[in-house]
Copies of this chain bind each other. A is one copy, B any other.
Amino acid sequence: MTPTAGSGPDRVVLSVDAMGGDKGAAAVVAGMAKAADKNRGVAFILHGPASELRPLIDRAGLSDRTEIRDAPGIVAMTDKPSQVLRKGKDTSMWSCVEAVRAGEASVAVSCGNTGALMAISTIRLRRIEGVNRPAIACLWPSRNAGGFNVMLDVGADIRADQDDLLQYALMGASYAKAGLGLDRPRVGLLNVGTEEHKGRAELKVAHDLIARIAPRANFDFVGFVEGGDIPSDRVDVIVTDGFTGNVALKTGEGTATLIRDLLGQAFRYSSLSRLAAVLALTSLRRLQKRIDPRQVNGGVFLGLSGTVVKSHGSADATGISAAIKLAFRLAESGFNDRVAARVAAANAMRAEDGSDNRIGGAA
């Protein structure tokens, strides 16, 4: 059978790394099947050991829309990014990113080692001109009508200066437009208090830079927000450095998981509460779906000349399916070209500002 991945004007081609996740290639293929079931226009290039992948793809009924690309090496969760850059050219992860670089696929999806994926992506896809640090954006369950907020950076880098935070604001606003379909996203800068005199010096400078560019970049800047605002409807995009964002993301997930487990215990407590659980099953499933981290699985690398979706390492078929659906939506919307255009326009504006903008930079 002829692989159809690279061809066809009405098909979106996604490049998928079969290896490196905790649950192995079988979970990845099951996630692909789940996502493909509802998106007839998607095709795949799947990277990994061909002899292992072929039977999985055949059994899943995906052989008419999947090209398997043999890559024997696997990036382990414990591999250091620097090692992978030196010796990882035969890995499924490298091959997966390479297909996007070569223009064969629109978006890459991997559930492997985040540091290694970021390193390979940065080296092979390069940064968008004008972006110093790429960022990882995640979706966060919220009180907003769409059900989600965007937060970045959640772990691409462990630091960010004022210019990086400005770029995160621009990239996050673009992502909210493409990923959440918002016309005019509200962007907030994460701090320890909403008063303007609080927080680190670089946050105050970033506050002024973002406030100045917001009207011309078609988003609203709501100023400083706090941790409690991350799931709120005060804001659509939360901007922060990758250390703080990563801690917040994992804290939120840990809290949600704890409450879900305690809720389960509460319902098993007595025969009356077990009966209640049966009666409330539909409502509880709806809640579960709303706060299940698997449903919002997929961090997106922003700031590179090519889109990469990082799925959770422990993702199962449901989680991988969510990541693939997100990749499909971003590919369809021509998201990455929009980000590049927005960053270029903002940099042009800042250059026009001239010395005015340097006041902020020097503070």
Contact = CB atoms under 8 A, between A and B. Distances in A.
A249 interface: yes
Copies of this chain held together in the complex = 2
B246 A267 contact: no
B287 A262 contact: yes
Nearest to A252: B255
A228 B251 contact: yes
A286 B269 contact: yes
A85 interface: no
B263 A272 contact: no
A78 B194 CA distance: 10
Contacts of A232: 254
B247 A266 contact: no
A250 B230 CA distance: 9
A115 B249 CA distance: 26
Contacts of A276: 275-280, 283
Given A200-B159, A267-B283, A269-B286, A248 B246 contact: no
Contacts of A262: 287, 290-291
Nearest to A287: B266
A229 B250 CA distance: 8
A155 interface: yes
Nearest to A264: B287
A247 B291 contact: no
Interface in A120-140: none
Interface string A217-249: 000000000111111100000001011101111
Nearest to A256: B255
Given A247-B244, A252-B252, A279 B272 contact: yes
A270 B247 contact: no
A68 B102 CA distance: 77
A250 B266 contact: no
Interface residues of A, number: 64
Nearest to A278: B276
A334 interface: no
A197 B80 contact: yes
A143 B258 contact: yes
A348 interface: no
Contacts of A254: 227-232
A333 interface: no
Contact of A266 (B155, B243, B284): B284
A192 B243 contact: yes
Nearest to A232: B254
A247 B80 contact: no
A158 interface: yes
B246 A227 contact: yes
B279 A273 contact: yes
A6 interface: no
A190 interface: yes
Contacts of A259: 256, 259, 287, 291
Contacts of A266: 280, 283-284, 286-287
Q: Which 3 A-B pairs give the minimum distances between C-beta atoms?
A: A227-B250, A276-B280, A276-B279
16 contacts: A192-B247, A227-B246, A227-B251, A228-B257, A230-B251, A230-B254, A248-B248, A251-B251, A259-B287, A266-B283, A269-B282, A269-B283, A272-B279, A273-B280, A273-B283, A276-B283
